Amino acid sequence: MTFSAERELDARPEQFVQAARDLATESGSAAFTVAQVTARAGLSLKAFYRCFRSKDELLLALLAADSRLGAEVLADRMAGRTGDEGVHAYVTELFEMLSLPGASGYAGVLVREYRRLSEHHDESLHAALAPLLDLLARNLNSSQPRRDASIMFGVLLGGIHDVVLRRVDDSEELAEHLYAFCMKGVGS
């Protein structure tokens, strides 16, 4: 067996996720092909399809990995604030995080693919985003915090989409507005 063949057998999904992350960061979208991902990872199409059934499955893996990381960073940035203060920190810090290196690629993929993936892979998408949704739900004082977190996150994605597309001059003002809007919606 050659070194290349051994590497193919040892292909890990993380290599493809990292390649997709790199391509997303460069383009700010998921407008890359499986062939581009495999070339970036230095692996074959066969290795890709051993790890993933489709590009959508790869995108869901990317969103899951980056949601875990994003939730950890966001929780640290929230600095222990809870309740309404925690929700405020969640929203404002989420928008602030868009300026972090590499965040625009993830945000671009998330906002551009969210609706499409929710049509075809809703349960998998919610599972991928669970770390971010759970962090928000823990701070909501409502009768259905998980449901409200999911709806609120969708509203926030609309604002993030405007930031990613540079339709907004002041993302801090938008974050404050969306926080106030969403809190009225959940009755706080």
Rounded to a whole number, what is the distance in angstroms from the first to the last CA of the chain? 63
Distances (CA, A) of 29 to 52, 87, 109, 124: 19, 28, 5, 20
Instruction: Count up the domains in the chain and report the number.
Output: 1
pLDDT, tens digit, 9 for 90 and up, residues 67-109: 999 999 999 999 999 999 999 999 999 999 988 887 877 788 8
Residue 21 lies in a domain: no
Residue 127 lies in a domain: yes
Owning domain of residue 75: 56-185
The answer to whether residue 121 scores a pLDDT higher than 80 is yes
| Cα–Cα dist 109/80, whole Å | 29
The answer to whether residue 1 scores a pLDDT higher than 50 is no
Residue 4 lies in a domain: no
The answer to whether residue 3 scores a pLDDT higher than 50 is no
- pLDDT band per the 50, 70, 90 thresholds, residue 48: very high
Least confident range from 10-14, 48-52, 84-88, 178-182: namely 10-14
The answer to whether residue 26 scores a pLDDT higher than 90 is no
pLDDT, tens digit, 9 for 90 and up, residues 107-120: 888 888 888 999 99
Residue 31 lies in a domain: no
For the chain, give the mean pLDDT: 91
Could you tell me the CATH number of the domain that includes residue 178?
Answer: 1.10.357
Higher pLDDT, 187 or 14: 14
* pLDDT score recorded for residue 137: 97
169-176: long-range pairs with CB below 8 Å, 24+ = 171/95, 171/98, 172/92, 172/95, 172/96, 174/95, 175/91, 175/92, 175/94, 175/95, 175/96, 176/92
